[in-house]
């Protein structure tokens, strides 16, 4: 056993020691520390690229030295206790197939058939899939949107008037479960304890904190993390987070936690329902290591985080500097969505008197912006607009991948890996685009990959021409207005998602072109990805006058008229004419 392994957390140490022990195995996985690949030339290339140790650590659940996730024993069981202690919860469940699964697991743990549940309309589609598989009645909270489509928060008045929400949906049973996305995809936090106290009659509060694993560890987020909250009597708080997103673990590595009263036997049984009996142990180790690194003492963990915040502030200030420079020249290329005063080492409250955030009815103490989530705004006027999709395509061509692109916004995630040099490259590439845009270069020179989508259509067109064509489509179809008002009036819930999906399973459905919709009942979820937030849930009525429907139609038309600039719309498929079709309930 190697001495340097001793400083590692318990499961990772046990795994590394096992991999280093060179034991002979007659069990799965049959690659046996990667030796299978040595028999084939392409196998040698594969193993050589990934490295030998990853295969040594990929071992069977038959290795008793590692313990078992099936009964929470051995080093695995010690590790879950270690994670629970660090996160200040009663139970931690490492989830090896993503936060989508973690969400379904904790929701299933929290409800029974026939229950009423409270659902944030900002929730990820995994919650919709949970609703499709469980016979419960959802009541929907309605979060805000601004004109750029930046995802806002639920007004606290909704948390404080559950009786009114029950009356609106005709619910007779008081809700047993509530799920809230914290932070929103665009980086807006709640005051979590205030939500817990407002919903004290609700048995289980679920905070989906997929994007902010780090918020549990740093005092900057002391009022914004579900792990920092205290449940009321007979109440429990469950939380899910994607440890792989902004904390360093392998993709699909997530964690679910429980704080407060829960049934261990039931939780373990449901965990088995959603997990695998053939776990990828390196992924488990990456969860443990990520949480251990985040909880490091002031010497390392805090220093890394403070440097991340510093880099985020640097990016924000440089973006603003560029905006002011172009504004002085009488032009506008981009701006950055943030308050005027960037207080260091703090989240920033969206104050009612401020205009920068674009939310008309926000109240004091309701919402806070995370400095690490940077939204860049692009001009969206009829006389001049630059749809963000054009810029994100250019960035991609120049080796820069953006997290999320809306019609007129781009979301940049700043993490510990966002070095100063990476930020400088982003800034220089944004400025390079502006210069090439000003020169009005041919599209085939500035965006050759888009030109290749339809060379005949794009032949002879310049970047400004193409940009104007896309902008005209969005303006004509009022994409800005439809995005902002898509939740003003939620669709009528004709069937619950569960009952609507039964029609689909029985194939009592039909397909219809999106553009031909007049009045139909959706059989599936309909959403734009990213961010993966439902515009329609199964069982909801779609009419041709809905803002959500008009938003989808605008994006469809934009993609169809301008090859290469389409958005991914889940729940739809293209027919032979290139039109989007959806599945609706036959009536």
Residue-wise pLDDT for 333-350, tens only, equals 889 999 999 999 899 999
CA distances from 187 to 39, 209, 289, 412, 530 (A): 49, 10, 25, 10, 14
| Contact predicate 585/529, CB 8 Å | no
Would the pLDDT of 134 be above 70? yes
In a domain, 149, yes or no: yes
Average pLDDT over every residue of 488-511: 95
pLDDT in tens, 516-533: 999 999 999 999 887 788
Structural tokens at position 563: 């090859």
Structural tokens at position 488: 């003003």
Q: Are residues 280 and 177 in the same domain?
A: yes
Total residues found in the chain within this entry: 587
Beta partners for 581? 513, 573
Q: Are residues 230 and 139 in the same domain?
A: yes
Q: Are residues 91 and 48 in the same domain?
A: no
Q: Are residues 538 and 509 in the same domain?
A: yes
Nearest-angstrom CA–CA distance, 111 and 90:
19
pLDDT in tens, 157-213: 999 999 999 999 999 999 999 999 999 999 999 999 999 999 999 999 999 999 999
Backbone angles phi, psi at 167, to 5 degrees: -65, -40
Q: Are residues 169 and 306 in the same domain?
A: no
What pLDDT, on the 0 to 100 scale, is given for residue 67?
Answer: 81
What pLDDT, on the 0 to 100 scale, is given for residue 298?
Answer: 52
pLDDT in tens, 466-484: 999 999 998 998 888 888 8
| Contact predicate 356/369, CB 8 Å | no
Q: Which of 461, 495, 510 represents a domain boundary (last residue)?
A: 461
| Contact predicate 222/347, CB 8 Å | no
Q: Are residues 371 and 492 in the same domain?
A: no
Q: Are residues 445 and 567 in the same domain?
A: no
Average pLDDT over every residue of 246-272: 94
Q: What CATH number has the domain bearing residue 359?
A: 3.90.1150.10
Backbone angles phi, psi at 180, to 5 degrees: -130, 135
In a domain, 474, yes or no: no
Name the H helices within 7-124. 10-20, 41-50, 52-56, 74-87, 98-110
Average pLDDT over every residue of 460-464: 96
Q: Are residues 247 and 279 in the same domain?
A: yes
Mean pLDDT (the chain) is: 92
Structural tokens at position 440: 């009005």
For helices 10-20 and 281-294, what crossing angle results, to 10°? 140
In a domain, 466, yes or no: no
Q: Which of 404, 432, 461 represents a domain boundary (last residue)?
A: 461
Q: Which of 428, 461, 494 represents a domain boundary (last residue)?
A: 461
Is residue 515 helix, strand or coil? Answer: helix
| Contact predicate 346/368, CB 8 Å | no
Beta partners for 374? 412
Backbone angles phi, psi at 377, to 5 degrees: -105, 140
Number of domains in the chain: 4
In a domain, 239, yes or no: yes
Q: Are residues 247 and 314 in the same domain?
A: no
Q: Are residues 571 and 547 in the same domain?
A: yes
Q: What's the pLDDT band for 1 if we cut at 50, 70, 90?
A: low
Q: What CATH number has the domain bearing residue 88?
A: 3.40.640.10
Average pLDDT over every residue of 13-33: 78
Q: Are residues 303 and 376 in the same domain?
A: yes
Q: What CATH number has the domain bearing residue 510?
A: 3.90.100.10
In a domain, 129, yes or no: yes
| Contact predicate 211/226, CB 8 Å | no
Q: Are residues 279 and 348 in the same domain?
A: no
Buried/exposed code over 212-231 (b: 16+ C-beta within 10 A; e: otherwise): bbbbbbbebbebbbbbebeb
In a domain, 467, yes or no: no
Cα atoms in the 13 Å half-sphere on the side-chain side of 493: 15
In a domain, 290, yes or no: no
In a domain, 61, yes or no: no
Structural domain range at position 449: 299-461
């Amino acid at each position: 056993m190697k001495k340097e392994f001793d400083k590692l957390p318990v499961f990772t140490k046990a795994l590394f020691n096992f991999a280093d022990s060179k034991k002979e195995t007659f069990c799965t996985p049959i690659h046996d520390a990667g030796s299978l690949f040595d028999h084939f030339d392409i196998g040698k290339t594969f193993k050589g690229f990934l490295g030998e140790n990853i295969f040594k650590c990929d071992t069977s659940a038959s290795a008793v030295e590692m313990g078992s996730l099936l009964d929470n024993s051995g080093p695995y069981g010690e590790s879950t206790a270690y994670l629970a202690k660090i996160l200040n919860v009663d139970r931690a469940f490492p989830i090896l197939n993503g936060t989508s699964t973690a969400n379904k697991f904790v929701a299933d743990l929290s409800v029974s058939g026939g229950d009423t549940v409270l659902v944030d309309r900002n929730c990820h589609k995994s919650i919709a899939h949970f609703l499709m598989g469980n016979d419960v009645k959802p009541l929907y909270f309605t979060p805000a949107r601004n004109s750029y489509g930046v995802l806002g928060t639920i007004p606290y008045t909704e948390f404080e008037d559950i009786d009114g929400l029950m009356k609106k949906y005709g619910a007779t049973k008081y809700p047993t479960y509530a799920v809230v996305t914290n932070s929103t995809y665009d980086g807006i936090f709640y005051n979590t304890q205030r939500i817990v106290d407002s919903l004290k009659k609700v048995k289980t509060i679920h905070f989906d904190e997929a994007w902010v694993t780090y918020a549990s560890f740093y005092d900057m987020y002391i009022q914004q993390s579900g792990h920092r909250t205290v449940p009321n009597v007979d109440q429990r708080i469950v939380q899910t987070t994607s440890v792989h997103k902004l904390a360093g673990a392998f993709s699909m590595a997530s964690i679910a936690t429980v704080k407060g009263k829960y049934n261990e036997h039931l939780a373990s049984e449901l965990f088995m329902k959603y997990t695998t009996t053939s776990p990828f142990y390196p992924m488990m180790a990456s969860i443990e290591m990520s949480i251990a690194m985040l909880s490091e003492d002031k010497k390392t963990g805090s220093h890394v985080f403070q440097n991340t915040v510093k880099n985020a502030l640097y990016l924000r200030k440089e973006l603003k500097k560029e905006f002011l420079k172009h504004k002085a020249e009488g032009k506008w290329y981009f701006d950055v969505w943030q308050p005027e005063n960037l207080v260091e080492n703090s989240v920033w409250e969206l104050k009612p008197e401020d205009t920068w955030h674009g939310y008309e009815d926000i109240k004091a103490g309701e919402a806070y912006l995370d400095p690490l989530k940077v939204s860049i705004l692009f001009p969206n006027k009829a006389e001049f607009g630059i749809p963000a999709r054009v810029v994100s395509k250019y960035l991609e061509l120049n080796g820069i991948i953006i997290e999320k692109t809306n019609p007129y916004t781009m979301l940049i995630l700043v993490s510990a890996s966002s070095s100063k040099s990476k930020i400088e490259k982003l800034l220089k590439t944004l400025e390079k685009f502006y210069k090439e845009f000003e020169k009005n270069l041919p599209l085939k020179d500035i965006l050759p990959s888009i030109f290749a989508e339809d060379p005949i259509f794009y032949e002879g067109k310049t970047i400004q021409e193409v940009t104007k064509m896309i902008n005209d489509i969005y303006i004509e179809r009022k994409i800005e207005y439809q995005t902002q008002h898509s939740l003003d009036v939620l669709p009528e819930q004709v069937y619950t998602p569960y009952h609507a999906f039964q029609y689909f399973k029985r194939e009592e459905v039909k397909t219809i072109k999106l553009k031909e919709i007049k009045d139909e009942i959706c059989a599936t979820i309909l959403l734009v990805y990213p961010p993966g937030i439902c515009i329609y849930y199964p069982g909801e009525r779609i009419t041709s006058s809905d803002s959500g429907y008009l938003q989808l139609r605008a994006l469809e038309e934009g993609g169809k008229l301008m090859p290469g600039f389409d958005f991914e719309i889940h729940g739809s498929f293209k027919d032979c004419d290139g039109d989007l079709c959806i599945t609706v309930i036959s009536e």
